[in-house]
DNA sequence: CAAAATCCATTTGCATACGAACAAGTTCCG
DNA sequence: CGGAACTTGTTCGTATGCAAATGGATTTTG
């Protein structure tokens, strides 16, 4: 068969980029249902902050794979919610010191269990063995 | 050891949502390097339009997993680039008819090979067998 | 037929994301 | 010491992505 259009052997629905976007969308839906008050990005920053302890803004961004412009907005919104506090570092006056407030630590503690449920529900279509395989392969694509 | 903080058994770097975000970031970097003139979303809409043929705005959005608000912006930008054209449907005056222009069809034809390279490079860290496994599992998480 | 429900597109608001450019502070090195 | 190089945070512009509200058009249903 002749065809005057470009070949149709490119099927969007089979491309890894499209599938990643769809899987991310589904995960986002699950996340919003179980943790309504925080976005995945905000929770990631808060969780990493509780995991690492006090740090600086850009360092927290690097630890959570956010660039400087992105982490700034996340920090601003978490501060607006009263979950973190920022102070200028006296030793290096460029640095913005970031730490979790008591409310932030408590919020993380409360959301932590939900977050584990979110991960479980996201992976629920797969068997336990498949989940482990998937996470292993996905880790190697980062 | 006692611990006054929430348990540290939540490790951000092991959660599927975080890994999905990182993998998407890496894919985006590869995409931007090989197809500088289009975003993944714009290319997805253009590719699906060439795959399906002329359709309506919302239908194209559903076919590419974009909601009405998102597909509108994508359509606007593709039209600004001259790659697609829109017309009001005479039969159903709500509908916005969308079709690829000759320039759009040509742009898709030119980018199609690059897009396949992007998928290949994104999956490059995995063996051929692992790639097939990963795509199968990822498909089931959408 | 008329009301209700549905669908289509648009708009607004909010929240990521990244590139680029910038100012200010710090460190490195000649 | 002093300029170059780097780091840190900020701002701007562009582009998704979703929720919610709106207005207009069409279809379904009582």
CA/C1' separation A141–C18 (Å): 20
Verify if strand C has an atom below 7 Å from the CB of B28: yes
Q: Where residue B3 falls among pLDDT bands split at 50, 70, 90? A: very low
Q: Please name the residue of chain B whose CA is at the shortest distance from the CA of residue A30.
A: B17
- The beta-carbon neighbor of A27 closest among B17, B112, B115 is B17
Boundaries of domain holding B42: 38-120
Residue B127 within a domain: no
Quick check: A68 and A76 in contact, CB under 8 A? no
CA/C1' separation B39–D15 (Å): 8
- Write out residues in chain A with pLDDT < 50, as ranges: 1-4
pLDDT at B9: 77
| C-alpha to C-alpha distance for B122 and A101, rounded to whole angstroms | 39
pLDDT at B5: 56
Q: Is A3 on the interface with B (CB under 8 A)?
A: no
| C-alpha to C-alpha distance for B23 and A16, rounded to whole angstroms | 10
pLDDT at A8: 65
8 Å CB contact of A112 and B18: no
Residue B78 within a domain: yes
Residue B16 within a domain: no
8 Å CB contact of B12 and A123: no
Where on the phi/psi map is residue A114: left (φ > 0), alpha (ψ -120 to 50), or beta? alpha
CATH number of the domain encompassing residue B63:
1.10.10.10
Residue A92 within a domain: yes
Verify if strand C has an atom below 7 Å from the CB of B29: yes
- The beta-carbon neighbor of A16 closest among B18, B105, B123 is B123
Q: Which of residues 47-106 of A touch B (CB under 8 A)?
A: 47-48, 50-51, 64-65, 105
Chain A residue numbers touching B8 (CB-CB < 8 A): 51
Strand partners, B85: B99
Chain A residue numbers touching B50 (CB-CB < 8 A): 5-6, 8
Give pLDDT tens digits for B80-123.
999 999 999 988 999 999 999 999 999 999 999 999 999 999 99
Higher-pLDDT residue of B8 and A30 is: A30
Counting the structural domains of chain B, the total is: 1
Residue A60 within a domain: yes
Q: Please name the residue of chain A whose CA is at the shortest distance from the CA of residue B4.
A: A105
Burial of B93-126, coded b for 16+ CB within 10 Å and e otherwise, reads: eebebbebeeebbebbeebbeebeebbebbbeeb
Residue A126 within a domain: no
Q: Is A22 on the interface with B (CB under 8 A)?
A: yes
pLDDT at A26: 96
Q: How far apart are the first and last CA of chain A?
A: 41
> Residue B18: is its pLDDT beyond 90?
yes
| C-alpha to C-alpha distance for A37 and A33, rounded to whole angstroms | 10
Residue B48 within a domain: yes
Residue A55 within a domain: yes
């Amino acid at each position: 068969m002749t065809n005057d259009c470009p070949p149709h052997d490119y099927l969007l629905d089979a491309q890894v980029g499209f599938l990643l976007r769809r899987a991310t969308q589904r995960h986002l839906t699950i996340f919003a249902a179980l943790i309504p008050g925080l976005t995945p990005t905000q929770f990631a920053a808060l969780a990493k902050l509780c995991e690492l302890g006090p740090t600086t803004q850009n360092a927290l961004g690097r630890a959570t794979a956010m660039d400087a412009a992105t982490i700034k907005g996340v920090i601003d919104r978490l501060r607006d919610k009263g979950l973190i506090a920022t102070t200028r570092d006296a030793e290096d006056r460029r640095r913005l010191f970031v730490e979790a407030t008591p409310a932030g630590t408590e919020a993380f503690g409360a959301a932590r269990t939900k977050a584990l449920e979110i991960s479980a529900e996201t992976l629920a279509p797969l068997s336990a063995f498949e989940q482990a395989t998937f996470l292993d392969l996905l880790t190697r694509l980062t």
